[in-house]
Amino acid sequence: MAGHPRKRPIWRGASVVLALLSAAASLAGCGGKQPDAAQVLRVGNQRGGTHALMLAAGQLKDVPYKIEWAEFPNAQPLIEAIATNALDLGLVGGPSFLFAYKNDQRLRAIQALSGGTKQEVAGVLVHKNASFASMRDLRGKAIGTTRGSVGHSLLLQALRQSGMKPSDVRISFVAPTEAVAAFASGDLDALAIWVPYLATAVLRHDARVLTYAHRGTSSYLFQVTSESSIKDKRALLEDFSRRYGRAQSWANSHPRQWGEILAKETGLPLDVANYTAEHMRWWPVPIDAQVIESQRVAARDFGTGGPAQNFDIARGFDASLNTDPTAKGKPD
């Protein structure tokens, strides 16, 4: 996403205007039926994300309501905007949702997308010429990641799989663009990051993937909204989620076309965009017991450094909007 996390106050200032738009839109009401053209759906967009994908797949044609897009550098400020009613919806990784839900249990995940058990959207990177052959070789080394991100979750998984603790390495929590810059300058020995930042590090800064930390379970993305947005804009949220599911299914089978449009819409170099499109494959799936249990497991992975264990993550999911007939099952 274009932008920088230090610009976060802009979104808080904009929340007044967006709240007024939301209030005006809610007067029309959707009545749980068809989307109302007088309503506005405010959608958060991360770099390489929702807007470009839906545009590429033709899913922004003939939308029977207005969509207002807001750009964010990563998931944390996007979810904060949802929590403060400055935004209605945004796509985030499972770890980001867990961290946010711990602090605000009015948030709801209404759509799930699975990356399968061998997802390569995020990884632990090291310098190409470094001698590191396994996570154990990183003992005492500096590793950069973004707190509460899919990279953070993956790093903790990788450490645990190697019989290590977070205290065995030096973790620096920084924004993704800053993490890549620090890695490129040699200030970090390793990087736990996701595409397109992972692609940039590999293609521009001589990084190589040390591990994807696969653990035999699927990784997930979630469309996240709030209780108030569900109450006021249910039909819009359901329509948008279906469109996004169709867009992602299209991208899975048209990675080259998706990469070209991703580059055009985001300003990413074409090779970075193509790498991202090839690795960022997700499938719409039902919100079911398996999805919810996966998040309980993820919460345990975070341990004391992550979401608390004394809340019911199942209440953070609303499957009543997850009625997309294309969401049939999880990939291998």
- Cα torsion angle, 288, 225, 303, 151, sign: positive
> What separation in angstroms does the CA of 175 have from each of 3, 76, 128, 222?
11, 10, 22, 21
Asked if residue 301 has pLDDT above 90, the reply is: no
N-to-C CA span, the chain: 30
**Residue 286 preceded by cis peptide, ω within 30:** no
Partnered with residue 170 across adjacent β-strands are 142
- Banded pLDDT at 319 (limits 50, 70, 90): very high
> What is the per-residue pLDDT for 35?
65
> What is the per-residue pLDDT for 190?
99
Residue type, 279: H
Give the least confident one: 9-18, 266-275, 293-302: 9-18
- Would you say 25 and 88 are in contact if contact means Cβ atoms under 8 Å apart? no
Q: In what order do the strands lie in the sheet with 122-127?
A: 170-173, 142-145, 190-194, 122-127, 207-211
**Mean pLDDT, range 215-233, rounded to an integer:** 89
Tokens standing for residue 274: 């193509």
Single out the residue of 116, 147, 119 nearest to residue 302, CA to CA: 147
DSSP structure class, residue 140: T
- Domains present along the chain, CATH in parentheses: 5-117+218-321 (3.40.190.10), 122-211 (3.40.190.10)
Express as a percent the part of the chain with pLDDT over 90: 65
Single out the residue of 281, 330, 290 nearest to residue 314, CA to CA: 290
Q: What is the mean pLDDT of the chain?
A: 85
**pTM of this structure:** 0.80
Q: Report the 10 Å Cβ neighbour count for 110.
A: 23
- Please spell the DSSP secondary structure of 146-202, one letter per residue: -TTSHHHHHHHHHHHHTT--GGGSEEEE--HHHHHHHHHHTS-SEEEEETTHHHHHH
Of 81-85, 116-120, 210-214, the range with the highest mean pLDDT is 81-85
- Would you say 225 and 212 are in contact if contact means Cβ atoms under 8 Å apart? no
Query: What pLDDT, in 10s, does the model give residues 256-288?
Result: 999 999 999 889 999 999 999 999 889 999 999
- Would you say 322 and 111 are in contact if contact means Cβ atoms under 8 Å apart? yes
Q: How many residues does the chain have?
A: 332
Tokens standing for residue 44: 């958060």
